[in-house]
Amino acid sequence: MNLVIFGPPGAGKGTQSKFISKKYNLHQLSTGDLLRNEIKNKTVLGSKISSLINSGELVSDSVVSDLIMSFISNEKYKNRLIFDGYPRNLSQAKNLDNLLNKNKQKIDIVLKLSVSLETIKKRILERQSQEKREDDKELIAVKRYKNYETSISPVIDYYKNSNLLRVINGEPSISEISAEISGIIEAI
Ligand code: ADP
């Protein structure tokens, strides 16, 4: 199965994606991690995108599309991808359907983690002390949250219309959320 997981910054997408990928032998495709790796490895792409990422802006659709395309067309990952951080806007959602379609695949389920802004702020502050992500500084994190809300709302409608969307409360403990997600995955 292929799965999409999304939620605001700090919602726990990464944590839950790691859990799901281990438990069900899927591959976590985190666009944020891939992009941060480009910066860390000082690639040409990394130098182009670092100021955007660090200031909380999105990278262009075409750059991210190229990144995910190589995974979708790779037999090794066929029907075992977790899209973590993609799509983030409606054109990315449509692009993802097209790319999967061309490779005779589809999305089987979309998980949306819902978390309040208050909780997000708390979690991002905690994460900042551990991971030192430039874009976790409070003002930038709030900007990312607002950008997320604006760009994701048509994506939510898009997946609601195709009956794929499951909304999960992202407030309880990590293990409670994992248990709810497992239940959903096992039911399909
Ligand atoms: P978060 O969800 O906490 O914001 P991510 O690790 O998913 O963190 O993303 C970090 C940054 O990487 C984003 O703010 C953006 O700059 C870039 N990015 C990740 N995914 C995408 C995407 N699908 N489209 C454009 N930019 C992206």
β-bridge mates for residue 81, sequence order: 27
Ligand 1 center from residue 83 Cα (angstroms): 12
Strand order in 109-114's β-sheet? Answer: 27-30, 81-84, 3-6, 109-114, 165-169
Residue 47 is encoded by which pair of tokens? 């130098």
Helical residues (DSSP H) of 25-171, grouped into ranges: 31-40, 44-54, 61-72, 90-102, 117-131, 138-161
pLDDT, tens digit, 9 for 90 and up, residues 55-77: 999 999 999 999 999 999 999 99
- pLDDT for res 170: 96
Could you tell which of 90, 128, 144 is best to mutate to test the pocket of ligand 1, judged by most ligand atoms within 8 Å of the CB? 144
Quick check: CB of 144 below 6 Å from ligand 1?
yes
Q: Which atom of ligand 1 is nearest to the CA of 85?
A: 7
Q: Which atom of ligand 1 is nearest to the CA of 135?
A: 14
Q: Dihedral of the CA atoms 100, 105, 106, 112 (nearest 10)?
A: -80
Q: Dihedral of the CA atoms 115, 121, 126, 131 (nearest 10)?
A: 90
Q: Which pLDDT band holds residue 136 (cuts at 50, 70, 90)?
A: confident
β-bridge mates for residue 113, sequence order: 168
Q: What is the largest CA-CA distance in the chain?
A: 44
Which CATH number covers residue 132? 3.40.50.300
Residue range of the domain that includes 174 = 3-187
Does pLDDT of 78 surpass 90?
A: yes
Give me the residue label for tokens 């992009």: 35
Percentage, residues of the chain above pLDDT 90: 86
Quick check: CB of 86 below 6 Å from ligand 1?
yes
Q: Which pLDDT band holds residue 138 (cuts at 50, 70, 90)?
A: confident
Do you find a cis peptide bond into 8, omega within 30 degrees of 0?
A: no
Average pLDDT over residues 21-49: 96
By three-state DSSP, how is residue 88 classified? coil
Number of domains present in the structure of the chain = 1
Q: Which pLDDT band holds residue 129 (cuts at 50, 70, 90)?
A: confident
pLDDT, tens digit, 9 for 90 and up, residues 96-115: 999 999 999 999 999 999 99
Q: Which residue has the higher pLDDT, 126 or 158?
A: 158
Quick check: CB of 140 below 6 Å from ligand 1?
no
Taking the C-alpha atoms of residue 164 and residue 139, their distance in angstroms, rounded to an integer, is 33
Task: Say which DSSP state 114 is in.
Answer: E
